Chain A
Amino acid sequence: MTLLLRGGTVVGPTATHIADVLIRDGRIAAVGQNLDATGAEIIDASGCWVGPALVDIHTHLREPGREEAETIESGANAGVLGGYGALVAMPNTEPALDNVALVSYVLAQGAKTRLDVAVAGAITVGRQGESLAPIAEMAALGVRLFTDDGTGVQNPAVMRRALQYAAPLGVRLAQHCEDEALAAGGVMNEGAVSARLGLVGRPALAEELMVMRDIELLRTTGGRLHFLHLSTARSLALVQAAKAQGLDVTSEIAPHHFILSEESCEGFDAHFKVHPPLRTPSDVLALRAALLDGGVDAVATDHAPHAPELKDLPFDEAPAGMLGLEHAAALTLEVLRDDPVAFFQVLSRGPARIAQLRAIDNAPDGSAHGGDVVAGEVANLVVLDPHERWHVDKNALASRATNTPYHGRELHGKVRATIVRGRLVMNEGELQ
C-alpha cells in the first residue's frame, strides 16, 4: 500500500512545517513538497496536523474476564478511531495479567487488531499486593511496564521490594497512587461538594501521601517509576520536584481530570465516578497549566469500560471509571490547540518513551512509536483536523461500553485518519 498525505502540517519533536508525507512498504518513504503520488492513495491533509500515531499507556481492555464491557478487538477499534497506533493493556483483568500465559494471550489477541497492543504486567500475584509476580519472565516477553493499577501497592515493604527487583531489569513500575485506608469507602473527591451531597470522600491526601512515599522509596532503590493518572496540583508538584532532583520518575494525567471537576458529581450520575476522583476546579487549572508548560510527561486515557447497567447503580455502588480512547485527542486540544508540538509530546512521544515503544527501545514485536515524521521511520501516523466540530454520541462508539461522561458534548477537533505500520486502519471515521 502506498499512501500520500497531501499538504498537512507535519509535527516534529520541536517544530512544524507544511509538507507531503509519502508512505510505502510500512515506512515513511519521503517527506517534502509536491511529492509524486503515482499509484498512491491520496489523503488530503491540508489544514490538518500530521504527527506520530497516538500512544495510550493506560487502557483497560477488559479481556479476559469482562468481555461484555470491552474486548481487545473492540478496544483496539476505539483506539484507532481516536488516533491511537499503540495501547498498553492494563493488567486488572479477571484473572489479572500476572503470568506469562495470560500476557502471551493478550499479546496474541492484540496482534490480530488494527493497532499495536503492548501489555502492562501485574507487580504482584493477582494484584493482591503481597507477593511479587514473575516480573522477569514477563519482561522477557517484552513487557516494559508493571502495575497493580485499579489499586496501588499499599504495603511499602512490598513496593520497595518490587522497585529493587525491577530496577536491574530495565522495566518501569507504574503506580496507582491512592492510600486505600484513607480513601476507604470514598466515591468522589473529599471536600465541600462531597460533604453537601452526603457522599463519602476520597481525599487528595490519599493520592499525595502515596506519591510522597513512592518518591522516597525510589530514592533508596533506584530504578524507574511512573505515576498513573495524577489528579491534584500537589501530586504534580511532588513529581516535578523529584524529577528535578534526578530521579527517573514520569507522570501522566487523564483527560477527565483536566476537563471535568468534582462539580460534575452534583447530579449523582455515576458516569462521573472515577478513581482517583474528579478534583476541584483549581486542580483542573493546575493540570492544564502543567500541560502547557511541560509539567507532565503524558496524557493517558485510563479508558475504563463498564457495562451500562453498572453505571445505572446508585453512585456509591457503581464501579469507577469512564471511557477515554475515542475522545482524548479532542479533549486535549481544548488545552493544546495552539501547540501541536506539545500535543504530540504528551499524546505520543512522551508515552512511547515511558512504555519503551520507540524504535530505539527494540521491542520484540518491532513496534516503533512516537518517532519523528521523517523518511525511514515506521509509518505510525495520525492525521487530525484541530478545528472540526462534532458531538459525542454514546450510542455511536466503537467501544462495547457506553460509559462516556461526555455524551452530547461538542468537541472541537477530530481524527481524520490513523495509519499503523504503513496501513490505513481508519479513514474519516470508518475502520479500514
Chain B
Amino acid sequence: MSFRGHNVLTLEGVDASSILEVLDTAESFVEVNQRTIKKVPALKGRVVASLFFEESTRTRLSFETAAKRLGADVVSLAVASSSVKKGESLRDTIATVDALGIDAVVLRHKSSGAAVQVSRFVPHVRVINGGDGLHQHPTQGLLDVFTVRQILANRAGALGSETGGELFKGLKVLIVGDIRHSRVARSDIAAYTALGAEVRVAAPGTLLPSDLTGWPVTVVENFEEALAWADVIGLLRLQQERGTGAFVPSLSEFTATFGLTTERAAVLDPTTIILHPGPMNRGVEIDSLVADRDNAFMTRQVTNGVPVRMAVLYLSIAGSKELA
C-alpha cells in the first residue's frame, strides 16, 4: 500500500515502497524550501487542522509550516485555549473542528491510539498522527530515514532518490535509551527495518518494552561494542514527563551507563551518524560537546521535518486517484 489518499497513523507494517515514495516526494520539496518564495500551490484551498493536545513546539511548527508551504489553510487548536479544558471530549472536539470544513487533521495526543480513534470518528477526513502517547510518531520515523538517506547519498555523491532503498541494506542502526516509553523508537524501528537495516537497541532493563516478542530488533549486551558497531546511532529523549524517573535510579546513573558521553563519543568512527528527535536533555542522553559535533545531525532533522511533512500531507490529502 501507499500513503496516497490514506491516513498516516503508524509505520508498523508499512512496506519499503510506501516509505520510499514519501522520501522521494520529500526530496522534491527540499528545493521548494530553498527558494526565496517557499511556496507551491499543491494544497491550495485545502484546510488542515492542527490539533495539539499535548505540548509540542517543533512538531507543531514543522507541520504548520509544511501545510502553509503547500498553500493549505491551517486552522490551529491549542489545548490551553480550547473547550477541552472545560471537559469537552476528544470526539466532540473533532466533530466541532470537522464542522468547520477540513480536509485533514494533524493530531498530537498524550494517549496511545488517539489518532486511530479519531480516524474512526471522522472517516471522511485524512488523519495524520503527529505523535500518540507511547505508540507511534510516523513523521518522525520518516524524517529520520530521510535524513540518513540524504547524508549517505551525499557522501556517495548522489541524490537520495537515485539510491532508492539501497543504502539501507545492511545498515547498522543502534537505538539507545528509553525505548519503552518512546513512540519515536516504535516508528523508527518500523521504518529502518522495512528498508532493510539491522536494528539493535540499548537500554537499561526497565526502559526496554515489557515484551519484545515480534520486534525485529536485538538487545545489545555491551553498549560500548554496539557504539563501535553502529553506522547510525539514534538517541531518545529520557521522558521524565512520563514518569520514567522511577525506572532508573538517577539521571546521572543513566548517563554513566547509557549516555553518549564525550568519552564514548571519542572512540566513534567519525562517519557514524548521530540523531536525536529532540528536545535533547543535554548532559543526560548526550553530552553538549557531542551534540555539537559535525556528525550529529539534529538540526538537519528539524530542517528535513518540513519537506517530509509536506510530502506526507501532499500524498495523504491530494494523493488519491480521484483527487489528483
Interface residues of A (CB under 8 A from B): 190-192, 194-201, 203, 267-269, 309, 312-317
Q: Is the CB of A315 within 8 A of B186?
A: no
Q: Is the CB of A195 within 8 A of B112?
A: no
Task: Give the shortest distance, in Å, between A188 (CB) and chain B (any CB).
Answer: 10
Instruction: Summarize B's interface: helix, strand, loop or mixed.
Output: loop
Chain A neighbourhood of B319, CB < 8 A: none
The stretch among B168-176, B206-214, B228-236, B303-311 that forms the contact with chain A is B206-214
CA–CA, A268 to B9, complex, Å?
12
Q: Is the CB of A314 within 8 A of B134?
A: no
Q: Is B159 an interface residue (CB 8 A)?
A: no
The stretch among B39-47, B65-73, B113-121, B254-262 that forms the contact with chain A is B113-121
Task: Give the shortest distance, in Å, between B215 (CB) and chain A (any CB).
Answer: 8
Given contacts A195-B180, A268-B117, A269-B120, 19 further A-B contacts (CB under 8 A): A190-B210, A195-B211, A195-B212, A195-B213, A197-B135, A198-B112, A198-B113, A198-B135, A198-B183, A268-B114, A309-B89, A312-B89, A312-B91, A314-B109, A314-B112, A314-B114, A315-B113, A316-B111, A316-B133
Chain B neighbourhood of A194, CB < 8 A: 210-211
Give the residue name and chain of the B residue nearest to A312 (CB): B91
Q: Is B12 an interface residue (CB 8 A)?
A: yes
Chain A neighbourhood of B211, CB < 8 A: 190-192, 194-195
Q: Which of A192, A201, A268 has the most CB of B within 10 A?
A: A268
Contacts A315-B111, A315-B112, A316-B112; A198 near B136 (Cβ below 8 A):
yes
Task: Give the shortest distance, in Å, between A251 (CB) and chain B (any CB).
Answer: 27
Q: Is B151 an interface residue (CB 8 A)?
A: no
For window 75-122 of B, CB contacts with A under 8 Å fall at: 89-91, 109, 111-114, 116-117, 120-121
Give the residue name and chain of the A residue nearest to B116 (CB): A268
CA–CA, A201 to B181, complex, Å?
12
Q: Which of A190, A192, A314, A316 has the most CB of B within 10 A?
A: A314
Chain A neighbourhood of B89, CB < 8 A: 309, 312-313
Task: Give the shortest distance, in Å, between B275 (CB) and chain A (any CB).
Answer: 20
Chain A neighbourhood of B120, CB < 8 A: 269
CA–CA, A351 to B12, complex, Å?
45
Instruction: Summarize A's interface: helix, strand, loop or mixed.
Output: loop
Chain A neighbourhood of B183, CB < 8 A: 198
Chain B neighbourhood of A317, CB < 8 A: 111
CA–CA, A196 to B90, complex, Å?
23
Chain B neighbourhood of A192, CB < 8 A: 211-214
Q: Is the CB of A198 within 8 A of B186?
A: yes
Task: Give the shortest distance, in Å, between B118 (CB) and chain A (any CB).
Answer: 10
CA–CA, A203 to B210, complex, Å?
10
Give the residue name and chain of the B residue nearest to A201 (CB): B210
Query: How many interface residues does B have (CB within 8 Å)?
Result: 28
Chain A neighbourhood of B112, CB < 8 A: 197-199, 268, 314-316
Chain A neighbourhood of B117, CB < 8 A: 268-269, 312, 314-315
Give the residue name and chain of the A residue nearest to B121 (CB): A312
Contacts A267-B116, A268-B117; A314 near B111 (Cβ below 8 A):
yes
Q: Is the CB of B134 within 8 A of A198?
A: yes
CA–CA, A194 to B186, complex, Å?
12
CA–CA, A198 to B136, complex, Å?
8
Q: Is the CB of A309 within 8 A of B111?
A: no
Q: Which of B90, B132, B210, B212 contacts A313 (CB 8 A)?
A: B90
Chain A neighbourhood of B12, CB < 8 A: 196
Contacts A192-B214, A194-B210; A199 near B91 (Cβ below 8 A):
no
Task: Give the shortest distance, in Å, between A184 (CB) and chain B (any CB).
Answer: 10
CA–CA, A200 to B112, complex, Å?
9
Q: Is the CB of A268 within 8 A of B210?
A: no
**Could you name 14 residue pairs across A and B whose Cβ atoms are closer than 8 Å?**
A190-B210, A192-B212, A194-B211, A195-B210, A197-B112, A198-B113, A198-B132, A198-B136, A199-B112, A199-B135, A268-B116, A314-B111, A315-B112, A317-B111
CA–CA, A196 to B183, complex, Å?
10
Chain B neighbourhood of A199, CB < 8 A: 112-113, 133-135
Task: Give the shortest distance, in Å, between B313 (CB) and chain A (any CB).
Answer: 23
Give the residue name and chain of the B residue nearest to A265 (CB): B113
Task: Give the shortest distance, in Å, between B191 (CB) and chain A (any CB).
Answer: 15
CA–CA, A317 to B111, complex, Å?
8
Give the residue name and chain of the B residue nearest to A186 (CB): B210
CA–CA, A312 to B114, complex, Å?
10
Task: Give the shortest distance, in Å, between B244 (CB) and chain A (any CB).
Answer: 12
Task: Give the shortest distance, in Å, between B254 (CB) and chain A (any CB).
Answer: 20
CA–CA, A197 to B210, complex, Å?
12
CA–CA, A314 to B12, complex, Å?
20
Task: Give the shortest distance, in Å, between B182 (CB) and chain A (any CB).
Answer: 9
Chain B neighbourhood of A309, CB < 8 A: 89, 91
Task: Give the shortest distance, in Å, between B83 (CB) and chain A (any CB).
Answer: 14
Chain B neighbourhood of A312, CB < 8 A: 89-91, 117, 121
Task: Give the shortest distance, in Å, between A244 (CB) and chain B (any CB).
Answer: 32
Q: Is the CB of B90 within 8 A of A198?
A: no
CA–CA, A201 to B109, complex, Å?
19
Chain B neighbourhood of A314, CB < 8 A: 90, 109, 111-114, 117, 133
CA–CA, A317 to B215, complex, Å?
27
Chain A neighbourhood of B111, CB < 8 A: 314-317
Task: Give the shortest distance, in Å, between B185 (CB) and chain A (any CB).
Answer: 10
CA–CA, A192 to B186, complex, Å?
13
CA–CA, A284 to B304, complex, Å?
47
CA–CA, A196 to B132, complex, Å?
13
CA–CA, A191 to B215, complex, Å?
12
Interface string of B23-55 (1 = CB under 8 A from A): 000000000000000000000000000000000
Q: Which of A190, A195, A201, A315 has the most CB of B within 10 A?
A: A195
Q: Which of B90, B109, B210 contacts A191 (CB 8 A)?
A: B210
Chain B neighbourhood of A316, CB < 8 A: 111-112, 133
Q: Is the CB of A268 within 8 A of B213?
A: no
CA–CA, A190 to B180, complex, Å?
12
Task: Give the shortest distance, in Å, between B210 (CB) and chain A (any CB).
Answer: 5
3 tightest A-B contacts by CB?
A268-B113, A198-B134, A314-B111
Task: Give the shortest distance, in Å, between B276 (CB) and chain A (any CB).
Answer: 20
Chain A neighbourhood of B215, CB < 8 A: 195-196
Q: Which of A200, A267, A269, A317 has the most CB of B within 10 A?
A: A200
CA–CA, A316 to B133, complex, Å?
10
Q: Which of A191, A194, A198 has the most CB of B within 10 A?
A: A198
Task: Give the shortest distance, in Å, between A196 (CB) and chain B (any CB).
Answer: 7
Chain B neighbourhood of A200, CB < 8 A: 134
Task: Give the shortest distance, in Å, between B8 (CB) and chain A (any CB).
Answer: 16
